[in-house]
Structure 1
């Protein structure tokens, strides 16, 4: 079993996490040192989530740890598990190690997301339009916000941040802005020049180049 100070810390941590996230969050501490697969749980908070208690046996994760090289075990984060009574849990398994890097215990978090998944399904059905999923179109509050959104869309169209754009990338972005009517917004040229780090002369040059490419 891990030493007393380690156990005390894990107990404190388990209580804190369980209190923070409420009764749907189970936190379990397994002992890997005793090599007793029948009673590996040495601490548990909100055990009603899986119906387990101190002294109960391990999951398949613990069994795997008991039979493998304990210095090569890797933490498993945010994976889904299911209880016998059908609850769906979002789980994370972290290995507690000694000074030699050998796993001596497991700190496990299991959050019951069954109700959330049911709500997600209902919400998806309610918001579905019966058409293929489309990206939600933003609604801007004013023309300044609209211009900001168009500029962001032009960057997404290019597929790289401005700092990494070459001339051809910027021409493509300017072409997008031109085709979407961004230059109809008052003083849009100043903001676009500043955003892309170009002069007004360069902007007009890029516009001409984009138009020539479109016509050809």
Structure 2
């Protein structure tokens, strides 16, 4: 592919990416020319992101491409950069080489995530908790109805013991029943029947387990 054809191809891709992701997405094409490193930007979409325009000079990535051996340069995808005015960008850089293996074009995508980062920080501080005992606990489940609440409490009691009902000992079942009692499960109408059936015990045994010390 000739240089002009390659540039036309990259230019179409850059317009498509910028159009797809909107005004916060800057797409830059640098032409690498050792004889002219002061004006490497030959195409730019949404240049307001970094306050650059066609004819502007190189970035550190361009200088790196000029300094390093082409074979040691690898595409760099999904990393953070910052602009002079403090914007936070999520960037990707792709190197395009000529037939001799020399870097000919650098294709860069810079997405301004400043607003997203600020929103993320605000959301994080809003939903975080400062109680060290609770920070690793799973969020409490909010049931849709009383039956779902009872099912959830029974499931919690099984998780507490860590084994299925069929493998539980008498002591395991007592632990589950007393957990349910402490959680108020037996305040639910007819919960005793459901819990007794679940743990495969009689109602008489159930009440003995509640009172067991």
Which category of TM-score, normalised to the shorter sequence, fits these structures?
0.5 to 0.7
Question: Aligned-pair distance for 1:179?
Answer: 3.0
The alignment of Structure 1 onto Structure 2 pairs a total of residues equal to 155
Distance 1:35 1:75 in 2: 24
The residue number in structure 2 matching 1:197 is: none
What is the SS of the residue equivalent to 1:99?
A: coil
After superposition, residues 119-138 of structure 1 pair within 5 angstroms as 119-132=119-132, 133-134=135-136, 136-137=138-139
The residue number in structure 2 matching 1:115 is: 115
The residue number in structure 2 matching 1:180 is: 162
Unaligned runs of 5+ in 2: 167-213
TM-score normalised by the chain length of structure 1: 0.63
TM-score normalised by the chain length of structure 2: 0.64
Moved beyond 2 Å, runs of 4+: 98-102, 131-143, 176-184
Distance 1:26 1:182 in 2: 56
Instruction: Flag the 1:63–1:128 CA change in 2: closer, same or farther, 3 A.
Output: same
The residue number in structure 1 matching 2:47 is: 47
Question: Aligned-pair distance for 1:44?
Answer: 0.4
What is the RMSD of the two structures over their aligned residues, measured on CA atoms? 2.9
Kindly indicate whether the alpha-carbon contact (under 8 Å) linking 1:71 and 1:103 is maintained by their aligned counterparts in 2. Answer: no
The residue number in structure 2 matching 1:198 is: none
The residue number in structure 2 matching 1:20 is: 20
Distance 2:122 2:113 in 1: 14
> Which is greater in Rg?
2
Instruction: Flag the 1:177–1:129 CA change in 2: closer, same or farther, 3 A.
Output: closer
